Amino acid sequence: MRLSVFVAAAALAGLSLGGCQRDDPGFDAKVKAYLMAHPDELRAAIDNMQAKEEVAEEAAADQKARAALPSLRNALERDPRDFVANPNGKLTVTEFYDYRCPHCINIAPKVVGLIRSRPDVRFVFKEMPIFGATSEHAARAAFAAKQQGKDYVALYQAFMGDRSLDDAAIDRIAASRGVNLAEMNAPATQAADVQQLSDISDLFKALGFEGTPGFVVGETFIRGEDFDGLVAAINRTGHKA
C-alpha cells in the first residue's frame, strides 16, 4: 500500500498521532507505524474511504442517468418486446436482472410478492444476462415464453429458484412450462433475441448500471439488492404522481 493511502486513511479515521504535523520529518514513518500497530483501525479507515468513494461514484452515475432518461424513457418502459406484469398499473418499475446472479435470486421472491400485492405497479422485465452464454440461454427461453403466450412470471420464478441453473435445466424447466424449444431455437427467433439483448445491454450501460439487479422507478435508480429502497422509491414516486 502506498504511504499516501496510509495518510489518507489516518485522516479519514480521525486518528490521533501524538500531535505530529505533516511537516515533521518523521511524520510518514509515525503514521505508518501507528497504523501497522492498529490494523483494525486501518481496515475500518480504508473501508470508510472506499464507502465514501462508492457513494460519490453512485451519485455521479445517477446524475448522468437522470440527464439521459428523457431520451431513454420509451425504451425503458414501453418496448413492446418486454414482458410487463400489471400492464394497467399507473406507476412503472423496470428491473434488469440475470437468472444466475445471486443477488437477483435473493430478491426475486420479493419482486413476485410486490407484483401480486401491488396491482397499481406496472412491472417491466428486462433480461440482462451478465454471466455468459448460459444466462443468455435463460433470457432467450424467457423471451420465448413471452412470445408464445406462456406464464412468464412462473418461468421467472422457476429459473430464479434453481440455484444450479445450467443449459439442460433451462430447457427442461422451459419445456415443462409449455415453451416450444424448436420455435425458440429457430434461426429467425434467435436473431431477434440477440438484437433485443443487445438493445437492453445498451440501455443498461446508458443508465450507468454495472451489475444486477438494477431497478428504475421514475427518476430513482436502485443499484443492487435493496428491496427496502425499491419500496421506498415506489411509495415516494406514487405519492408525487
CATH tag for 78-240 (out of 3.40.50.150, 3.40.605.10, 3.40.30.10, 3.40.50.2000): 3.40.30.10
Strand-pair partners of 92: 122
Q: What pLDDT, in 10s, does the model give residues 134-184? A: 999 999 999 999 999 999 999 999 999 998 999 999 999 999 999 999 999
Write out the H or E segment, with its range, that includes residue 221. strand 220-223
Structure confidence at residue 236 (pLDDT): 94
What pLDDT, on the 0 to 100 scale, is given for residue 50? 66
Q: What per-residue confidence (pLDDT) applies to 240? A: 62
Query: Is it the case that residue 13 has pLDDT exceeding 60?
Result: no
pTM: 0.78
Q: Does residue 1 have a pLDDT over 50?
A: no
How confident is the prediction for the chain on average, in pLDDT?
88
Per residue in 185-206, pLDDT (tens digit) is: 999 999 999 999 999 999 999 9
Element spanning 97, H or E: strand 91-97
Would you say residue 241 has pLDDT above 90? no
Give the pLDDT band of residue 12 (cuts 50, 70, 90): very low
pLDDT at 2 over 90: no
Domains of the chain, by residue range, sit at: 3-56, 78-240
CA-CA distance, 31 to 41, in Å (whole number)?
Answer: 12
Q: Using one digit for the tens of pLDDT, what is the confidence trace for 26-79? A: 666 776 777 777 777 767 766 777 667 666 667 777 888 899 999 999 999 999
